[in-house]
Structure 1
């Protein structure tokens, strides 16, 4: 069982919860990726980041290791959770999974945009019991290039594929998409502003890009139209995670 994440009480004696932030606070735009294998490691990161971030991504690794309790712990401590499990199955199965995820109190969750309109619609319908849950369709992973898509039989460029999948997602009720900032400006131009774009593959200038292919800096991502940026190792592996998070916040502004 995972260790509980206590509510953090800053030095001013006030409990700062993610749902109490001012709408213009740049912390609304920053998602810290908890790409670790244990609740203890996740707790250490959350404690080290402190009030410099309030939205945390729980992905396949941490969820597989710790199960739904890690989500419950984060939510009960006042953090918002982006559950990034990229559901992709038949509509009934995905709908059932989304329903359970919504009950955990997550703020955002992902489904694969390539799973068909019916699957996306089932996910959206299942999330309606929790109106604050955002269903986000994953378009093209930031680790994939145009040649990778071609090898698996996808016709068209990365950008064309992203726009096509985003169009299907929005038509079936998804509140947003996950896409590289390299495609965000095109999505905004073609599909408007009334949906969220969550951008992974964000790295501050000069940092190692890891296994990502289509990467940008935090400022570039926001300027391109991203609503949220996902940052992992540059924050979680920093000597001072809170300071690194604040540095990124200063780049993305309000």
Structure 2
């Protein structure tokens, strides 16, 4: 297995020039990039099309949470850009997720991923918004709902992967943000994990951000993440 296919580098950048510099530094090492709201806002959809034209896969992390018709429209727009993955909020409910899945049918390569619980959230944060139970319980609840809606996979923290695999089996994609090498700062992620632990638990893809993008040599850092998966 080529471990490059597992790793998605998060281009959480505030300018297009910064993002492009990282892409240039990584070259052929990286095949998959995440574009979130910050970069999409400053660089626009043209940059997404630019990445796709270079042969890169793009995970468009929109975290869609709107009325079903608006979500469907956004998914169709994402599909027309040629992206491989787009996210919808699991907390939006069955109707929103199902609308996203239905809109994606026109784009055979597009996969809808349901965000379960943001990796920065804790049990206390859930309590603040009126949700009883732990983050682990909420992750499983939303994951099962996403399955009913037909979502292709889930976004969940590295610490949630094992429970999800045990509950849902081998088929759903599980994409894990909050992945850092041992000793690196987890930043705002409350439930982080290492690349090797996430893959061992059953993650299909790893989202790696500052560990690579803020390294002095991003390509060397990317290779270090790859090597950690097989050691």
Q: Same fold (TM over 0.5)?
A: yes
Unaligned runs of 5+ in 1: 1-23
- TM-score normalised by structure 2 residue count: 0.98
Unaligned runs of 5+ in 2: none
Corresponding residue for residue 97 of structure 1: 74
Q: How does 1:63-212 map to 2 (within 5 A)?
A: 63-212=40-189
Contact 1:219 1:252 in 2 (8 A): yes
Mapped to 1, the partners of 2:120 and 2:173 lie a distance apart of: 21
Q: What is the Cα-based RMSD across aligned positions, in Å?
A: 1.0
Q: Which runs of 4+ in 1 moved over 3 A?
A: none
Cα deviation for residue 140 of structure 1 reads: 0.2
Query: Deviation string for 1:213-241 (max 9, x for gaps)?
Result: 10111111111111101011110111111
- Secondary structure (helix, strand or coil) at the match of 1:111 reads strand
Contact 1:181 1:225 in 2 (8 A): no
Higher normalized helix content (fraction of residues): 2
Mapped to 2, the partners of 1:61 and 1:49 lie a distance apart of: 21
How many residues align structurally? 231
Q: How does 1:7-18 map to 2 (within 5 A)?
A: none
Corresponding residue for residue 30 of structure 1: 7
Which residue of 186, 209, 228 maps to 1:232?
Answer: 209
Corresponding residue for residue 247 of structure 1: 224
Cα deviation for residue 253 of structure 1 reads: 3.5
- Secondary structure (helix, strand or coil) at the match of 1:73 reads helix
Cα deviation for residue 38 of structure 1 reads: 1.6
- Larger Rg computed on CA atoms: 1
Mapped to 1, the partners of 2:154 and 2:49 lie a distance apart of: 24
Which residue of 30, 49, 63 maps to 2:26?
Answer: 49
Cα deviation for residue 127 of structure 1 reads: 0.7
- TM-score normalised by structure 1 residue count: 0.89
